[in-house]
C-alpha cells in the first residue's frame, strides 16, 4: 500500500500492550472456565475460532497491509466473539462476562479498520 502510515496520530505510545495483556488474561480465564465445564461444547469451538481470527488479523493488516481482508477477518472475529458470549452464557456466566471488554476493544478496532479502509480505497488490489 502506498503511503502506509507508520503511526496512528491518535495512538498513545505503549497503550495497546497493557490492554492486550489484560484482555488475553480474561480470554484465557474465560476459555478455561468453559473448557472445565463443557470441553466439547459449541462455546469451546467458538473460543478456538476467535483465537484463530485474532491471531490472523494483525499480520493481515500490519504485515501485508491488506485493510480489505483485515476488515473481513475482524468482522468475522466480532461475530465469533458475540457468538461465544451467547454460547458461553449457557455454560458459565462469568466466562461470558469476561469477554465484554474484549468485545468493546474489537468493536473499536473494527471501526478503525473500516475507517482506514474507507479513507484508503486504493489500498485494496
Q: What is the pLDDT of residues 12-48, one digit of tens each?
A: 667 788 999 999 999 999 999 999 999 999 999 999 9
In a domain, 8, yes or no: no
pLDDT beneath 70: ranges in the chain = 1-13, 123
Please give the tally of structural domains in the chain: 1
Residue 102 lies in a domain: yes
User: 120: closest CA among 71, 55, 56, 73?
Assistant: 71
The answer to whether 33 touches 95, Cβ cutoff 8 Å, is yes
Domain CATH for 30: 1.20.1260.100
Helix H or strand E encompassing 71: helix 67-89
**Residue range(s) defining the domain that contains residue 110:** 17-123
DSSP state of 4: -
Q: Is residue 44 part of a domain?
A: yes
Q: Looking at the domain assignment, is residue 4 inside a domain?
A: no
In a domain, 33, yes or no: yes
> In whole angstroms, what is the distance from residue 58 CA to residue 60 CA?
5
Residue 7 falls within a domain, yes or no? no
Q: Report if residue 3 sits inside a domain.
A: no
- At residue 104, the pLDDT reads 98
Is 39 inside a domain boundary?
Answer: yes
Amino acid at each position: 500500500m502506498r503511503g502506509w502510515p507508520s503511526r496512528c496520530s491518535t495512538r498513545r505510545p505503549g497503550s495497546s500492550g497493557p490492554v492486550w495483556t489484560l484482555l488475553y488474561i480474561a480470554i484465557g480465564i474465560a476459555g478455561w472456565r468453559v473448557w472445565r465445564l463443557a470441553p466439547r461444547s459449541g462455546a469451546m469451538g467458538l473460543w478456538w475460532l476467535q483465537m484463530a481470527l485474532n491471531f490472523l488479523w494483525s499480520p493481515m493488516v500490519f504485515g501485508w497491509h491488506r485493510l480489505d481482508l483485515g476488515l473481513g477477518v475482524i468482522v468475522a472475529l466480532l461475530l465469533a466473539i458475540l457468538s461465544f458470549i451467547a454460547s458461553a452464557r449457557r455454560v458459565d456466566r462469568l466466562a461470558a462476562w469476561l469477554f465484554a471488554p474484549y468485545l468493546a476493544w474489537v468493536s473499536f478496532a473494527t471501526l478503525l479498520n473500516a475507517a482506514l479502509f474507507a479513507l484508503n480505497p486504493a489500498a485494496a488490489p
